Amino acid sequence: MTLYRGTFLDTPADPFSGGTLRVEEDGALLVDPAGVIRDRGGWESRRAAYQQEEVVDLRGGLVLPGLVDTHVHFPQVRVIGALGMPLLEWLERCALPEEARLADTGYAEGVAVDLVRGLAAAGTTTALVFGSHFAGAVDALFTEADRVGLRVTSGLVVSDRVLREDLFTTPERAHAEGLELARRWHGLRRNRYAVIPRFSLSCTDALLASCAALQEEVEGLWFTSHLNENVVEVDAVRVLFEDADHYLHTYAEHGLVGRRSVFAHNVHPTHSELVELSAAGASVSHCPTSNSALGSGLFPLRAHVEHGVRVALGSDVGAGTGFSLFKEGLQAYFMQQLLGAEGLPLTAAHLLHLATTAGADALGLGDVVGQLSVGHEFDAVWLRPAEGTTLDVALRHAHSPEEALAKAFALGTTADVRATWVAGGVVSGGAVVA
Ligand code: GUN
Ligand code: ZN
């Protein structure tokens, strides 16, 4: 077994329901060879109890649960950072031309390496990944995630209208290709399959029905799509689905809204949609840098929380501006500040919760990851800035672990992530055995 020594912070008790940050300063975690945390406590007493175990010294900086990204687009790694366009124009001019390139599986394999490396380097250990419109590319993504060991839920993205034609499928092809991919990958080691219509705007009812059929056919599949991101998009969906009361109904009508459903954005929900999301136990992935970059709007977090809708964080790469969930957390905080009295003031504990425990819960993995508790797997990120950097100085001068965590969200970047583990195995960076 391995004894990790460091300052461990996590949020097993939800700060949105009165919980506070859990702090183990100069603590120890005992991890078994399968990667499961077997004991935790103060360093001195745990070292005395486990004198024979190998020690990994993670002092300096902070050790947090592995970060959970509930919305990130595999084919968009190479187009991060396009500025100045709203959603539909950005899709047409920037995202979709790149997505079309993944028809070439060789190209897709390179992008898969970029994506998995980008996630792991940022401290993300679990991700719900919007796949590609091409089955070969989705296969390449799972192959790379599986090789590295990240926890990835992903699938074939399907569309049959509105977008450029080289991305179109048919209901029959979507079903057949999805079924083959799901049978190959769902439940294999850390991989899981998700059914993914791109958004109602690009899907006919027949295609959404084929998505529902696939979800019925294979036990335990996940579902993800986009919802209420941009006002022009919402209006266009209203025109295409004139019988639907609102955007969520376009999915609900096909039985696609449930506990294993994660909807990205929901910046412009109606009251009824919040009520229905909550009743269904569905989750919303809040993607604050994307919403800011595309000018989509300010996310009504307070309304989600008050309606009991589950919310977690997503990077939404490539409309989002990078893989770092520290940046997403900071931007989420900014947004709530900008909403004034309508906003929900967030503490560092809220941000950590949104980036870890809430994501694990949204993805049905709350018993496995998202916190550093006994019985959970050791998925972790060691934030350890280089000496003399602003974050290093800030952490050294923090007056409490809570303050240190706020500074980590304010200043932390991928460059400050020294190492990332999934189930006790290093997936990025590294740490020295003492
Ligand atoms: N809606 C449909 N496709 C996309 C996408 O790729 N990014 C974002 N942000 N919204 C979408
Ligand atoms: Zn998206």
Q: Is residue 109 part of a domain?
A: yes
What's the pLDDT score for residue 31? 98
Q: Is 155 exposed, middle or buried (0-12, 13-18, 19+ CB in 10 A)?
A: buried
Q: 32 vs 8, 39, 126, 134, 380, CA distance in Å?
A: 18, 9, 20, 39, 15
Quick one: which ligand is closest to 95's CA? 1
Which residue, of 338, 354, 381, is where some domain finishes? Answer: 338
Q: What is the pLDDT of residues 33-65, one digit of tens each?
A: 999 999 999 999 999 999 999 999 999 999 999
Q: Is residue 279 part of a domain?
A: yes
Q: What is the residue with the minimal CA distance to atom 3 of ligand 1?
A: 198
Q: Alpha-carbon distance 356 to 101, whole Å?
A: 33
Q: Alpha-carbon distance 306 to 316, whole Å?
A: 24
Per-residue pLDDT at 434 exceeds 90: no
The mean pLDDT value for 240-253 works out to 98
Co-location of 139 and 193 in the same domain:
yes
Per-residue pLDDT at 161 exceeds 80: yes
Quick one: which ligand is closest to 263's CA? 2
Q: Is residue 354 part of a domain?
A: no
Residue 212 — very low, low, confident or very high, per pLDDT cuts 50/70/90?
very high
Residue by residue, what is the 3-state secondary structure of 281-312?
CCEEEECHHHHHHCCCCCCCHHHHHHHCCEEE
Please give the ipTM for the structure prediction: 0.99
- 299 neighbors 263 (Cβ within 8 angstroms): no
Q: Around Cβ 189, how many Cβ atoms within 10 Å?
A: 11
Distance in Å, CA 354 to ligand 1 centroid:
21
Co-location of 270 and 227 in the same domain:
yes
Ligand 1 atom at minimal distance to the Cα of residue 320: 9
Ligand 1 atom at minimal distance to the Cα of residue 99: 6
Quick one: which ligand is closest to 71's CA? 2
Give the end-to-end CA distance of the chain in Å, rounded to a whole number.
14
Say which DSSP state 263 is in: E
Quick one: which ligand is closest to 72's CA? 2
Counting ligand 1 atoms within 8 A of each CB, the residue from 73, 161, 286 with the most, and so the one to mutate, is: 73
In this structure, is the dihedral angle defined by the CA atoms of residues 303, 309, 312 and 315, taken in order, positive or negative?
negative
Co-location of 117 and 197 in the same domain:
yes
Q: What is the pLDDT of residues 278-319, one digit of tens each?
A: 999 999 999 999 999 999 999 999 999 999 999 999 999 999
Distance in Å, CA 79 to ligand 1 centroid:
13
35 phi and psi angles, rounded to 5 deg? 95, 10
The mean pLDDT value for 191-216 works out to 98
Q: Is residue 107 part of a domain?
A: yes
The mean pLDDT value for 409-426 works out to 98
Q: What is the pLDDT of residues 386-403, one digit of tens each?
A: 999 999 999 999 999 999
Report the mean per-residue pLDDT for the chain. 98
- 155 neighbors 181 (Cβ within 8 angstroms): yes
Q: What is the pLDDT of residues 326-374, one digit of tens each?
A: 999 999 999 999 999 999 999 999 999 999 999 999 999 999 999 999 9
Distance in Å, CA 185 to ligand 1 centroid:
24
Q: Is residue 39 part of a domain?
A: yes
Distance in Å, CA 150 to ligand 1 centroid:
23
Q: 424 vs 195, 224, 323, CA distance in Å?
A: 29, 28, 22
What's the pLDDT score for residue 427? 97
Q: Alpha-carbon distance 130 to 77, whole Å?
A: 12
Co-location of 187 and 239 in the same domain:
yes
Residue span of the structural domain in which 37 resides: 2-65+370-433
Among residues of the chain, what percentage have pLDDT more than 90? 98
Co-location of 60 and 85 in the same domain:
no
Q: What is the residue with the minimal CA distance to atom 7 of ligand 1?
A: 319
Residue 426 — very low, low, confident or very high, per pLDDT cuts 50/70/90?
very high
Say which DSSP state 92 is in: I
Q: What is the residue with the minimal CA distance to atom 9 of ligand 1?
A: 319
- 192 neighbors 186 (Cβ within 8 angstroms): yes
What's the pLDDT score for residue 130? 98
Residue indicated by tokens 């560092």: 348
Q: Number of folded domains in the chain?
A: 2
Ligand 1 atom at minimal distance to the Cα of residue 73: 6
- 15 neighbors 35 (Cβ within 8 angstroms): no
Q: Is residue 364 part of a domain?
A: no
Distance in Å, CA 248 to ligand 1 centroid:
16
Say which DSSP state 91 is in: I
Co-location of 304 and 392 in the same domain:
no
Q: Is 391 left (phi over 0), alpha (psi -120 to 50) or beta?
A: alpha
Q: Alpha-carbon distance 173 to 154, whole Å?
A: 18
Q: Is residue 72 part of a domain?
A: no
Co-location of 235 and 136 in the same domain:
yes
**What CATH number should be reported for the domain holding residue 392?**
2.30.40.10
Q: Which helix (H) or strand (E) holds 380?
A: strand 380-383
Per-residue pLDDT at 431 exceeds 90: no
Co-location of 238 and 116 in the same domain:
yes
Co-location of 47 and 139 in the same domain:
no
Pocket of ligand 1 (CB under 6 A): 73, 87, 91, 95, 198-199, 226, 229, 290, 316, 319
Q: What is the residue with the minimal CA distance to atom 11 of ligand 1?
A: 226
The mean pLDDT value for 100-125 works out to 98
Co-location of 59 and 87 in the same domain:
no
Q: Is residue 347 part of a domain?
A: no
Token representation of residue 260? 């294993």
What's the pLDDT score for residue 433? 76
pTM over 0.95: yes
What's the pLDDT score for residue 233? 98
Co-location of 233 and 110 in the same domain:
yes
Q: Alpha-carbon distance 359 to 186, whole Å?
A: 19
- 11 neighbors 63 (Cβ within 8 angstroms): no
Distance in Å, CA 341 to ligand 2 centroid:
28
Distance in Å, CA 157 to ligand 1 centroid:
11
Which residue, of 314, 338, 362, is where some domain finishes? Answer: 338
**What CATH number should be reported for the domain holding residue 84?**
3.20.20.140
Co-location of 246 and 115 in the same domain:
yes
Residue 232 — very low, low, confident or very high, per pLDDT cuts 50/70/90?
very high
Token representation of residue 382? 């060691």
Residue 430 — very low, low, confident or very high, per pLDDT cuts 50/70/90?
confident
Distance in Å, CA 264 to ligand 2 centroid:
6
Q: Give residues with Cβ within 8 angstroms of 423, minimum separation 6.
A: 34, 35, 36, 149, 377, 378, 379
Q: Which helix (H) or strand (E) holds 152?
A: strand 151-155
What's the pLDDT score for residue 407? 98
Token representation of residue 178? 């999805």
